A and B are shown apart, each in its own frame.
Chain A
Amino acid sequence: MTMNREGRPTAPGEVESTMPDTFTGNRALRIEEPVIFDVGTAEATGVDLPEPDSAVTSRLGGLERSEPLDLPGLAEPEAMRHYVRLSQKNYAIDMGLYPLGSCTMKHNPRLNEKMARLPGFADVHPLQPVSTVPGALKLIAECARWLCVSTGMEAVAMSPKAGAHGELCGMMAIKAAHAAHGEDRSIVLVPESAHGTNPATAALLGYKVVAIPARKDGTVDPAAVIERLSDDVAGIMLTNPNTCGLFERDIVEIAKAVHEAGAYFYCDGANLNAILGKARPGDLGVDCMHINLHKTFSTPHGGGGPGAGPVVLSERLSAFAPLPYVKMTADGPELIETLGDAEADGQKPFGRMTAFHGQMGMFVRAMTYMLSHGADGLRQASEDAVLNANYVRAGLQDVMSLPFGERPYMHEVLFDDSFLDDTGVSTLDFAKAMIDEGFHPMTMYFPLVVHGAMLIEPTESESKASLDLFVATLRDLVMRAKRGEVDRFKGAPWYAPRRRLDETAAARHPVLKWTPPEPQAADAAE
């Protein structure tokens, strides 16, 4: 190819077969976006900052950085384009149905965002004088009150930073309660259908985990629990509604047996969004339960976080809630931050889960959502979530396979892969084909209790029309699988920003950061 002095072609030349269709790699306005390290430079910057005052001498004690920092910057317009283009390679709830069972992606109202950015909430320091933050403390107390009242519980630990952190908090409260009674119990019962975080949490605290198998109908058998109870059992960790989308209908009996054995009942509250306003965990015999604010109360999850996992506690455990907490008094909210103040208040906190007070920004968003819905709206939301899940179940049950039969499911419905038997199409292939249809796939291969699980959770923020299209699309995919269009599935996704990615290679030789390209041999020789 003939080139000019800048190395630009001056004649068309031959196109090599490996060349992409277009010079920029553009496909339907989607330009390949390099990493910042390929395009930025150490001198470039997108911020205007004043010149440091050279008259002031440094007091850095001889610890000044000796090697220059090698991180690229981009000017503001370049940075804007880089991240806007990257954003366009994401699927999001604002673009369409996101039926991730057990993860629950519902509408994220922008009013929540607006309220969280009020300077009185966003621009307040956790350690500025308490006298300057009465509104922030009131917000925490108000949010705590809504969580306690709607779950029928005595107290709430607001500070846990995510659902799994809340699990840890709840199990720590149980451990502290046993210790206060002079007991050192070593076993925690965890049903097989539990979230993987449950056994991990119990093990982190030094407990031995004993699994409880699921009954044929997907729920926990009280007899199986009773059989494993002893005075060495600290507690049970049960998810309700469970990860098969079913309400544990023997929960009251299970709780009673657990209490009689001197143990506590931890309920994984990840799926609270199905029953809020319809039943209260406190009435079911639950001693502690974390609440994922993003699931039940619509705070955004931004590609995986932040979360917030307040833990509601029964009367039996409320004294052990961690520091800090906000106490409502006649004079207004009071912040209890130290062990001494808590003891004076008659409490026995087991410790501190995090620096500062927890995910305030998430409390603001959740509170905004709770006020918007009100008690009546929260109840309606649960009903609609359950209605939507069962509508999807009814629309698909004759062509897909329900491991636990045609019965009411809660907020999510679980299919297995037996409807794909002999088609050559796997759950993974089926999920990837959904991408080509413009849907985010459902949760795959979880829970582990059924083969090739597909867990679908539409949530209450989907319309009937949206569900009708979803059902029709899945039915069409089932027919294509049964017709033998295997290649279509095996090759999917065809129309996503990326084709199927090699996860095995990524794990075998982990490349976790950008490294400069190897210098060319010619350069090295110079």
Chain B
Amino acid sequence: MRYLPLTDTDRADMLQRIGVAAIDDLFVDIPEDVRLKDLVDLPKAAGEMSVERQMSKMAAKNVAAGSVPFFVGAGAYRHHVPATVDHLIQRSEFLTAYTPYQPEISQGTLQTLFEFQTQVAGLTGMDVANASMYDGSTATAEAVLMAHRLTRRKKAVLSGGLHPQYREVVRNLSDMAGDDLVCLAPDPAGTEAILDEIDNDTSCVVVQTPSFYGQLTDLTAIAEKAHAHKALLIAVVTEIVSLGALQPPGAMGADIVVAEGQSIGNSLNFGGPYVGLFATRQNFVRQMPGRLAGLTTDAEGRRGYVLTLSTREQHIRREKATSNICTNSGLCALAFTIHMTLLGAAGLKRLAMLNHQSAVKLADALAGVPGVEVLNESFFNEFTIRTPKPASDVIEALAEKDVLGGVPVSRLEPDDDDLANLIVVAATEINSDDDRQAYAEALTEVLA
């Protein structure tokens, strides 16, 4: 076992130095009758070659996104990540560092988190951001709890444009914490009357932009009505690249912005690990969950960084803590910040426009397929189409033609028959004219 440096001679010497006869003398506190005598029913150690073969075999059974025309989004997006990003995050000093509990020897991690926080605050148009959350969905649930703490009210209003799985994550935590949720019906075209739901009992309104269905909405009116009732507007962004082209939620009056940061620097990874972004207004900082890196000075007066405001957290407040979170997505946040630094404002804007144009071209191509209707007039890089056949059948038939054509809404909303023929389709900068043409042709054949 190459990961274990001790030799049998070492082990014998060490047992002698400790003063026991056998290794089991160190396990005497485990009651005899529950101590395992034999190995559990699992295979024995395997060498590097063998493990590589077994794992590669499993991986090869999957259709990798890069191997086919690929248009799947709905909260996770395939973008090109510069080679530099993966190289840098694999440097030992980043990859194998732990939480920066000793700031004097963790300045690399801490400074990148400080840069990350600044980038996220700038992107979202907010005053401050934390050092990342697990992912966009859990960040959304934490934002609802934060609104509850700030307003001392329990009623959260969730837009029907919110990602259905995000809604379920919020519902799960809110139910357990005793909150009341008002979840609006699924809203593909962005026509819901969310303003009518806001009243003096409302803690927050949660609106996704662009919506799960791709629809773009001006949040200003919602923010105004929410603020008139002393409620908070939580804006959810699952495609952070969109902020290279669109008004940031902060400029439209959002009080908390949560986002999925996977799109910048991180791979699809079948759903995780991803990186949640969390930004808010300066006066809410002490109710913000998660880690924070802050600027300070060292004993010689030099600029340095530390984890700060941890008095809000479980380390000290235990049952009075703001949240039970004691980690962040450090390495994914690092990937985000490196990719963001490579892009800069100019690169991000260009990337965003390339995404939008790819989607516009695809929408036009699919609208030309007989029987297909594009539901959204305004969108960023994702939109919803209605097909004359059940969407799940269409997507399966497309997959057989080696086109991964999007997400049937029925997969996430199985109980709503009105949604059975809807497909959420995403296009990004990786899609070529050939990809889009292949999709339109395959869809034409499938619907014929």
Contact = CB atoms under 8 A, between A and B. Distances in A.
12 contacts: A47-B343, A60-B216, A70-B122, A87-B91, A279-B34, A279-B35, A301-B331, A352-B172, A372-B46, A383-B23, A460-B4, A501-B304
A301 B379 contact: no
Contacts of B311: 507
Nearest to A75: B342
Contact of B98 (A125, A303, A506): A303
B26 A502 contact: no
B19 A501 contact: no
Shortest 8 CB-CB distances between A and B: which pairs?
Answer: A73-B344, A302-B331, A61-B378, A120-B59, A356-B271, A135-B61, A351-B172, A126-B271
Categorize the interface residue count of chain A. Answer: 35 or more
A386 B5 contact: no
Contacts of B121: 513
Given A67-B251, A204-B323, A506-B294, A123 B76 contact: no
Nearest to B248: A65
Contacts of A125: 65, 70, 72, 76, 78, 268, 270, 404
Given A90-B108, A200-B318, A375 B247 contact: no
Contacts of A65: 243-248
B342 A355 contact: no
Contacts of A121: 59, 62, 269-270
A375 B39 contact: yes
A302 B330 contact: yes
B23 A498 contact: no
Contact of B94 (A90, A118, A201): A90
Nearest to A302: B331
Interface string A461-487: 111101000000000000000000000
Contacts of B407: 127
A132 interface: yes
A355 B399 contact: no
A306 B134 contact: yes
Nearest to A94: B92
The winner among B17, B173, B341 for most chain A CB atoms within 10 A is B341
A358 B275 CA distance: 12
The winner among A120, A121, A168, A513 for most chain B CB atoms within 10 A is A513
A131 B216 CA distance: 32
A58 B380 CA distance: 9
B248 A123 contact: no
Contacts of A45: 342-344, 346-347, 350
B379 A59 contact: yes
B440 interface: no
Nearest to A389: B26
Given A66-B251, A162-B326, A303-B108, 8 more contacts: A47-B347, A119-B66, A135-B60, A168-B173, A200-B323, A277-B40, A280-B36, A511-B294
A80 B319 contact: no
B123 A71 contact: yes
A400 interface: no
Contacts of B93: 87-88, 90-92, 94-95
A85 B58 CA distance: 38
A74 B337 CA distance: 12
A111 B95 contact: no
Contacts of A98: 98
A496 B90 contact: no
Categorize the interface residue count of chain B. Answer: 35 or more
Contacts of A142: 58
B107 A86 contact: yes
B62 A124 contact: yes
Contacts of B100: 303-304
Contacts of B363: 59
A387 B3 contact: no
A354 B169 contact: yes
Nearest to B400: A131
Nearest to A78: B341
Given A200-B314, A374-B45, A381-B4, A279 B341 contact: no
The winner among B59, B78, B132, B245 for most chain A CB atoms within 10 A is B59
B172 to A, nearest CB: 3
B4 A380 contact: yes
B354 interface: yes
A175 interface: yes
Nearest to B429: A49
B105 interface: yes
Contact of A337 (B137, B354, B411): B411
A466 to B, nearest CB: 8
Contacts of B101: 100, 443
Interface stretch (B175-183, B195-203, B222-230): B175-183
Interface string B113-136: 111011101110000110110111
A89 B414 contact: no
A305 interface: yes
B357 A52 contact: yes
A342 to B, nearest CB: 11
B436 interface: no
A125 to B, nearest CB: 4
A351 B327 CA distance: 23
Nearest to B164: A355
B296 A505 contact: yes
Contact of B45 (A280, A308, A377): A377
Interface in B43-62: 43-48, 50-52, 54-62
Contacts of B97: 90-93, 301-303
Contacts of A323: 168
A199 to B, nearest CB: 4
B291 interface: yes
Contacts of A350: 172
A274 to B, nearest CB: 9
Contacts of A163: 326-327
Interface stretch (A6-14, A29-37, A313-321, A417-425): A29-37
A270 B246 CA distance: 43
A513 B129 contact: yes
Contacts of A129: 395-396, 399, 404
A379 to B, nearest CB: 6
The winner among A35, A65, A388, A394 for most chain B CB atoms within 10 A is A65
The winner among B1, B30, B44 for most chain A CB atoms within 10 A is B30
B112 interface: yes
Contact of B269 (A95, A337, A361, A371): A361
Nearest to B300: A499
The winner among A45, A98, A165 for most chain B CB atoms within 10 A is A45
Contacts of A63: 216, 218, 246-247, 378
Interface in B141-191: 145, 163, 165-166, 168-169, 171-173, 175-178
A92 B94 contact: yes
Contacts of A340: 414-415
B136 A122 contact: no
B118 A302 contact: no
B3 A372 contact: yes
B309 A510 contact: yes
A362 B54 CA distance: 17
A441 B102 contact: yes
A124 B65 contact: yes
Interface string B280-299: 00000100000111111111
The winner among B28, B107, B273 for most chain A CB atoms within 10 A is B273
Nearest to B145: A204
Given A124-B65, A512-B294, A499 B104 contact: yes
A40 to B, nearest CB: 6
Contact of B272 (A161, A370, A391): A161
Interface string A190-206: 00000011011111111
A25 to B, nearest CB: 9
Nearest to A492: B104
